[in-house]
Structure 1
Amino acid sequence: MSTTARPAADAAERTRFTDLLAAEWIKLRSLRSTYWVLGGGALVVIGINANSAWTNARRLAGTESTPGDADDRYFRFDALHTAFVDPAWQLLMVLAATVGALAVLGEYTSGLIRTTFAAVPDRRAVIAAKTVVVTAVMCGLGAVVAGVSFGVTQALLRDEGGLSIGDAGALRAVVASALLTPVCALVGMALGAVVRHAAGTVAAVVGVLLLLPALFQGDTYRWVKEIGNAMPLTAWARLVENPAAVALPEKYPVTLTEAWTVFAAWPLVAVVATVTVVCRRDV
């Protein structure tokens, strides 16, 4: 091949991948469920966190009391935790993973995947484009939800010890929560490629992301705890901890380095699994 032909071929390949990105973006945003799931989920998560902050602010101000609060006005209050209430973010994890699964599952269930692979035989390129689009969308969603949740909750608590983004642990918690959504979305994509059934994929998402961490919470045996420490939910919980809060002693705790490693390893393994399954299985 001549030296002039190679740059032209490289340019064509880059253009082709750009076209794949555009196609995957159109597929994702053309699904009505995407808007409902992401928009509704974001509002619910922010609402749960804001309600937690508002309730705690009233209790701290003395305008609302709960049995047992009389002798413990601060009831082990943690301002940072109000922005990252566990049930709210667990819900967002499932929703993000569901959207990630739909990016693959939708084409298989509709039969569109045959058309896609007929037009683009390079399946790795297709999965790479899906990965980029899903990651970008979920990073944006995670950043908005984490940033708004932190801002709203701390504004509600401004008179009761609310934090700023510059306080210890605050920025780390916001970044970790923003990254949690793309991590879960890519895990969902892998599960969708493996299961290829809507109900089964949702069950697998809940099992992998929520039930497994619950099963491996015990610290009687170190290997049990270490498996639990390797779960995204456990890693996220460690990253959003308030350094100023008094923590209960814990055997075999996950370190910050280990938590960030978990956040890096899960999406990498998920993408490799998606590519492997899609390339080796028939449509």
Structure 2
Amino acid sequence: MLAHTINAEWIKLRSTRGIYWTSALVVLLSVGLSAFIGWANGMGVQSALDDNDTGFLATAGNLFTFSAGQAGLLSFGSMVIMIQAVLTVTGDYGNSTVKLSVLAAPARWQVAVAKFLVYGVLAVVLALISAVVSAVLGHALAAGQLDDPSIADGMALSADDAWKTIGMIVVYVLGAVALCTGVGYLVRRTAGAMAIVLLWVLVLEDLTGLLPDSVSRYITPFLPFKNISAAISGNDLEHAPWGQGGSLIYYVVICLVIFVGGIVALRKRDA
């Protein structure tokens, strides 16, 4: 039964010391960077107000959006989640325990689904904790630097788009875990799988900015992480044939396709 496979994967995951380190890193990096950004933005805007720097103040509104306050989670915390998601799969191959997992499960696809569900739930919990604490701490530090604390209200949990953004972050994290699980089963090697995921997220999608607009306009709308980034920030992706909702759906579809591809590879290949 799938429930037994899920229980086995949970026991395996929690018995690994590394999971406690990576979980702590997700929260610490997410909250720490968001808190620093909130403090720095608050101080910078107050300095601009004191100096009447109209040029800086004209663009300062974007500094105090809820998504801007989640920069730590979206940039660093999510990377640690992706790395751990890859390791949950490739670690089995590296430790030669994948055969035992496959033999113990009634069907191979259950192993992949169980890994996704177990770490996916943990990743969502970590993301929720990080998002809420980042919002509270980042808003408090930003407001503390401003003579008018209400300027930073867009970063607070009471902001109009706060829980909608958190919901999109949850989708982002679940999609990332599914994608990384799929890549792990397709590649099987830790170094290769991590290189693919990290280069994809941190390098390849940004390379379109080096291309002429006449070329990049046909590529950028179909980059999954550009789409989810636009959805979380509440913007329509430039040149995309859909809006924010379409960007969210497109990201989910791409992640599911890669996850299913990993399941197919697990079923077809020898463990």
Aligned partner of residue 213 in structure 1, secondary structure: helix
Residue in structure 2 matched with residue 31 of structure 1 by the alignment = 16
- Report the residue type matching 2:137 in the other structure: V
Residue in structure 1 matched with residue 207 of structure 2 by the alignment = 215
CA distance in 2 between counterparts of 1:88 and 1:166 reads 19
Give identity over the alignment, percent.
20
- Report the residue type matching 1:269 in the other structure: V
Of residues 225, 228, 249 in structure 2, which corresponds to 1:261? 249
CA distance in 1 between counterparts of 2:106 and 2:129 reads 36
**Does the 8 A contact of 1:98 with 1:185 survive in 2?**
no
Q: 1:18 to 1:234 in 2, by over 3 A?
A: same
2:147 is the counterpart of 1:162: no
Deviation at 1:82, TM superposition (A): 3.3
Residue in structure 2 matched with residue 241 of structure 1 by the alignment = 233
Deviation at 1:214, TM superposition (A): 0.9
**Does the 8 A contact of 2:69 with 2:138 survive in 1?**
yes
Of residues 187, 192, 200 in structure 1, which corresponds to 2:192? 200
Q: 1:209 to 1:73 in 2, by over 3 A?
A: closer
Of residues 129, 132, 135 in structure 1, which corresponds to 2:117? 132
CA distance in 1 between counterparts of 2:13 and 2:49 reads 45
Range with greater deviation from structure 2 (117-126 or 226-235): 226-235
Residue in structure 1 matched with residue 59 of structure 2 by the alignment = 76
Gaps of 5+ in 2: 144-148
Range with greater deviation from structure 2 (224-233 or 116-125): 224-233
Aligned partner of residue 162 in structure 1, secondary structure: helix
Q: 1:178 to 1:154 in 2, by over 3 A?
A: farther
CA distance in 2 between counterparts of 1:227 and 1:258 reads 16
Deviation at 1:226, TM superposition (A): 4.7
Range with greater deviation from structure 2 (27-36 or 252-261): 252-261
Range with greater deviation from structure 2 (163-172 or 97-106): 163-172
CA distance in 2 between counterparts of 1:134 and 1:72 reads 45
CA distance in 1 between counterparts of 2:248 and 2:73 reads 21
Task: Give a deviation string over 1:43-86, Cα, whole Å, max 9, x none.
Answer: 11211111011011122333999xx984545261220153132x
Residue in structure 2 matched with residue 151 of structure 1 by the alignment = 136
2:227 is the counterpart of 1:232: no
Residue in structure 2 matched with residue 177 of structure 1 by the alignment = 169
**Does the 8 A contact of 1:53 with 1:83 survive in 2?**
yes
CA distance in 1 between counterparts of 2:256 and 2:243 reads 20
What TM-score do the two structures reach when normalised by structure 1?
A: 0.80
CA distance in 2 between counterparts of 1:136 and 1:273 reads 21
Of residues 255, 260, 268 in structure 2, which corresponds to 1:280? 268
Gaps of 5+ in 1: 1-15
In angstroms, what is the RMSD of aligned CA positions? 2.8
The higher radius of gyration belongs to 1
**Does the 8 A contact of 1:155 with 1:162 survive in 2?**
no
Q: 1:242 to 1:107 in 2, by over 3 A?
A: closer
The structure carrying a bigger helix percent of its residues is: 2
Deviation at 1:114, TM superposition (A): 1.2
Residue in structure 1 matched with residue 146 of structure 2 by the alignment = none
